A and B are shown apart, each in its own frame.
Chain A
């Protein structure tokens, strides 16, 4: 019907499958994010390091390029191993943290500030779908920043090194993939939870860093004062670093290639403590979201 026919008419067309409706949210969000020049630049810039890694892998396997550059034997300086991939994961994860701090606060808080949640949830659209939709914005972008380039580098290395290398180092791919996912889920949940509770965007973004850096510093202070290592339970980067070491199948966490996520020697926490702490953090975030994501506030 032409838009000039200004009348109400019921809708009798087809409907989209209900499982796919949460994807409407990221589609609209990407349209908006695309308009931010800063974000677009930052996002493109975040691929610089994976590109450098890919170049290193390529050059390392190309003797003619090395001789052309006059650095024969340079391939012995850098080895493509756990440290290499963990440092790639660590760097990209830092980028993902910045991204989450930038776009996370603009996810839930505007909807809460403008009472838009009642409109979302008055439709055949649940709270879980709302959170999934909002999370998927962060998950998709952070995936593109972390495990996607990581796995591409792994595939490039496998292609150049051969099938046997790929088979022997499958733990690198799985470690990268699952390690990145753990990090992405934590960041996404934390960003949404903070966005739901802190309506002022800059404060919510700042709080994201606060959770990582201030809590880490707090943990270090506890360690210093109490002469213990349990203060690291507050240090999310140390917790995730320990988990990565396990997922990559490494034995020594103190040689973790991701510097920011490296645990000091002698201060390693039991692995189950790290997993449990991260799980508790996720549960707290989910609880915070469950409290705030409601169609109507209840005044008790």
Chain B
């Protein structure tokens, strides 16, 4: 399968300022997280993919369609949930989503049916006839999600979907996003400042810094490789023999102070074997942790790597 979003030397300038600097990447994941500090170019990237800004050089392709030459077709594949409040205040929720679905090309009756469905789906079924202006922040976020999915897009852009939500509302939003992702009918591009949101919802992450790609990684692969990386704490007089024994099994080791050891297990070696060797060498393993290279670590590393300082 080709990439969902392919950035092909994409450059965007606002006057003399270069906002996106010849980005090149192929995003293939079902759900892609877009991370970066403020001003990194996340929203500009989304807006450019939506056709709001013209690339000054290069291009991007969404599901194989060029954003320069097939902008309209591209937009028909996308559902967009913007970061800021975006609604028509005096319209009822269901009326608003129906209007948006009709503008996306759905016939009247289908648009109405799907507007109702979308409202029930995001948990606003009971308030769908209330004016949008009277909604709470959490309800507005959910209504924005409803309008983004009502027309059945192939790719969903979520710009800070949990912005300003209280913990229960955030949890509900994350669950909705995960549900949509797991159904497998559409792809997600989630832009967020909250690393936890991205970690919980995405399988790929693109980190931007100053308009450049600072890192691009597959979170699932990272998680898998992390499972081979251990940190243990041992007690016993024959620590050296224990290390020798595990090295013979093919482990890479890095001893630290006070019996702490970092280990990389070779493929096929089970953790259980370490305990057996420890028992043979009369060494106690007091603590064993799988290293969890969190998204935060990846993000911080990416920020360091880009210019060598934080």
Complex formed: what's the CA distance from A5 to B87 in Å?
25
Other 9 A-B pairs with CB < 8 A, given A9-B117, A123-B151: A8-B180, A13-B107, A32-B91, A110-B88, A111-B88, A115-B86, A122-B50, A122-B75, A122-B157
* Interface positions of B from 206 to 258, Cβ below 8 Å from A: none
Is the Cβ of B52 less than 8 Å from the Cβ of A123? Answer: no
Which of A15-23, A90-98, A213-221, A249-257 contacts its partner?
A15-23
Given contacts A11-B152, A114-B87, A298-B14, contact A3 B117 (CB under 8 A): yes
A24 is contacted by which of B103, B114, B186 (Cβ under 8 Å)? B103
Please name all residues of chain B whose beta carbon is closer than 8 Å to the beta carbon of A111 when the two chains form the complex.
88
| Total A residues in contact with B, Cβ cutoff 8 Å | 41
Interface digits, A282-300 against B, CB 8 Å rule (1 contact, 0 not)?
0000000000001110111
A121, B125: Cα distance in complex, Å: 26
Our pick among B84, B104, B185 for the contact of A8 (Cβ within 8 Å) is: B185
Q: List 27 A-B contacts (CB under 8 A).
A: A3-B120, A4-B120, A8-B183, A9-B117, A10-B154, A11-B151, A11-B152, A13-B110, A14-B107, A15-B105, A15-B106, A21-B105, A24-B99, A28-B99, A111-B88, A114-B86, A114-B89, A118-B86, A119-B100, A119-B147, A120-B103, A122-B157, A123-B100, A123-B151, A124-B75, A296-B47, A298-B53
CB neighbours of A76 from chain B (8 A):
none
**Contact status of A123 and B152, CB under 8 A, knowing A114-B86, A116-B86, A295-B50:** no
* A contact face: mostly helix, strand, loop, or mixed: loop
Q: Are A295 and B106 in contact (CB under 8 A)?
A: no
Q: Does B304 contact A (CB under 8 A)?
A: no
Residue from B95, B103, B125 in contact with A3 in the complex, judged by beta carbons closer than 8 Å: B125
Among all A-B residue pairs, the 10 with the closest Cβ atoms? A11-B152, A295-B52, A15-B105, A122-B80, A115-B86, A124-B76, A296-B52, A10-B152, A3-B116, A296-B47
Bits for B144-162, please: 1 = Cβ < 8 Å to A, else 0: 0001010110100100000
In the complex, per-residue mask of A162-175: 1 if CB is within 8 Å of any chain B CB, else 0: 00000000000000
